[in-house]
Amino acid sequence: MINVIGLGNAGCNIAESFSKYPQYEVYKIDVSLKKQKNCFSMPERTSPEEYESKFPARVLSSLRKIQGDILFVVGGGGDVSSASLRILEAVSKNKIEVLYVKPDESIATDDETLLDKISFNVFQQYARSGLFERLYIVSNSEIQRTVGNIPISKYYDTLNEIISSTFHMVNVYKNSKPTISSFPKESEVCRIFTIGIGELEKITDQMYFSLDNTNEKRYYFAINKKELEESTTLLSKIKTRAKQKDKNIKAGFGIYPTDYEKNYIYIVSQTKIIQGVNYD
């Protein structure tokens, strides 16, 4: 069981989309939440700093009782996101992964863009220092480019569903035994990640964030059982599909049987390099 803690509007909505899977226990923290199980409401504050300094002690007390692996989900740019470190400190006895959602800069306000920039850097520094196990970065604008046009009324619901379903499937296959695999041992210094999808017949990896200086890639091939049993060229196709043009990227794959008619690829990329910094 993974405990998913969503903070703020985006974090809560994505956390809620995990609730349809039995492997997750969902918690939500935001302003003016309805009284429901695992929902913690906070009073509205006048500044980002107040959300951290005046974070409710009763909520921290409840969070300290959570046991087991944690996925903390937060959207960049929201004032409430300033309370993130208080929450992470409260659950620090557990194994923690963070899912950070970068807002679409083309529609974000100047204040949201500035707050996202600050939070984005802080989360990466804490990931590299080992405060939590992994930082997964996804970008709303990158995901939209992956899936194409989305009706306005369904925009965020669609993005949230894509994020949660992809992350869930990666978790499923990460904890399943592959038919064949070539995964290298993961580097302990690479703590900054993103996820994405792909197709067997197309070379392009559709990642949910443009990760600079990728060190490693892991491909989870979900293949139709019948094709897995009958195709004599499948393994060669998979090897070719996972091969990297950049020889500095270590890549591996796992092959998993499914009942789906269509084949899917779920992809995880990782790096040890802080993103958004010009190293020239």
> What tokens does 132 get?
């939590």
Residues 20, 67 share a domain: yes
Cα separation of 103 and 142, whole Å? Answer: 10
Burial 84-96 (b: 16+ CB within 10 A, else e): bbbbbebbeeeeb
Element spanning 52, H or E: helix 48-53
Q: What is the mean pLDDT of residues 18-26?
A: 96
Whole-number pLDDT of residue 278:
62
Q: State which residues form the domain around 246.
A: 191-271
In a domain, 238, yes or no: yes
Residue 242 sits in a domain whose CATH number is 3.30.1330
Closest CA to 28 of 14, 49, 45: 14
In a domain, 87, yes or no: yes
Whole-number pLDDT of residue 153:
86
Residues 155, 44 share a domain: yes
In a domain, 186, yes or no: no
Tens of pLDDT, residue by residue over 192-247, are 999 999 999 888 999 999 999 999 999 999 999 999 999 999 999 999 999 998 88
Tens of pLDDT, residue by residue over 57-74, are 999 999 999 999 999 999
Whole-number pLDDT of residue 95:
95
Residues 206, 126 share a domain: no
Residues 210, 85 share a domain: no
pTM summary value? 0.93
Residues 157, 117 share a domain: yes
Residue 9 sits in a domain whose CATH number is 3.40.50.1440
Residues 238, 165 share a domain: no
Q: Final residue of a domain: which of 142, 171, 200?
A: 171
Q: Beta-carbon neighbour count of residue 189 at 10 Å?
A: 11
In a domain, 39, yes or no: yes
Whole-number pLDDT of residue 24:
97
Residues 141, 23 share a domain: yes
Domain count, the chain: 2
Residues 45, 117 share a domain: yes
Whole-number pLDDT of residue 93:
94
